[in-house]
Amino acid sequence: IPALAGHRLARVTLLDCGTFSVRGGERIIGIPAWLLTTDKGAQVLVDGGFPAAYGKDDAAAGLADGLGVFGALVDHRPEKMVAPQLALCGVAPGDLVAHVLTHGHIDHVGALDLIACPLVLTEIERADPRPRYFGAVRPLTWPEVPTLAITGDTDLCDGIRLIPTPGHTPGHLSLLLTLPEGPPLILAADAINRRSEPEEGFADSADPAASRRSADRLFALQRDTGARLIHGHEPTEWPVLPKAPQALR
């Protein structure tokens, strides 16, 4: 991404894209996206919450997508969509220089039809004819934007490292974020979506064995770097994480 040449990560902000009740209240999870800001003011978005239709009528959209078999959005209002969340940080979609997609599931693709900056994802994920979305439902097409499809660990700039972590989806990726102060952050996304997932055998994964290997790699990275690991959808983590406009760090 030429716009990030010579940049260094300076700030990480969690965007609150709503909460979701899994299987009738089995657990309540947060729907995160992330804004990464460099020392020179460049803005990078990671993921994007639910698609635009969910900002208008999430019940109708969920019914159309068949999402009710998995759960339902709660505490979800138009201001929980990715554009209003960015606006809390003084950022417009047109200000973004890159959009990193950890994977193509329904609760991560809400910015695909909103943003014209380069899309960054794994080559394997992009090889899907359409974003994976939800079950057999695949209504979205890939945006016609410049695309960086990575095949291995990739540094977008100093402090932003992308790490392929297959399993949850074949082309899933996680991030290692290194800030000027404090320990690094690992954004595991759905490579480890909750603390209990490893002992539960990665039941929500497309390939549980691959998920185990990816999780082991992230745990090893955590031990080696002293990083704080942030899960994709850990119920106990979500309420205590600072959210936009307050920076996580």
**DSSP symbol at 158:** B
Specify the pLDDT at position 116.
95
The pTM score is 0.97
Specify the pLDDT at position 242.
98
- For the chain, list residues with pLDDT below 70: none
Specify the pLDDT at position 75.
81
Specify the pLDDT at position 228.
98
Task: Enter the tokens of residue 246.
Answer: 């307050």
Specify the pLDDT at position 76.
86
Query: Identity (one letter) of the amino acid at 186?
Result: I
Q: How far apart are CA 83 and CA 248, in angstroms?
A: 19
User: Strand pairing partners for 186?
Assistant: 176, 229
Task: Enter the tokens of residue 32.
Answer: 């995160």
Nearest partner of 235 among 21, 16, 70, judged by Cα: 21
Specify the pLDDT at position 138.
97
Specify the pLDDT at position 35.
98
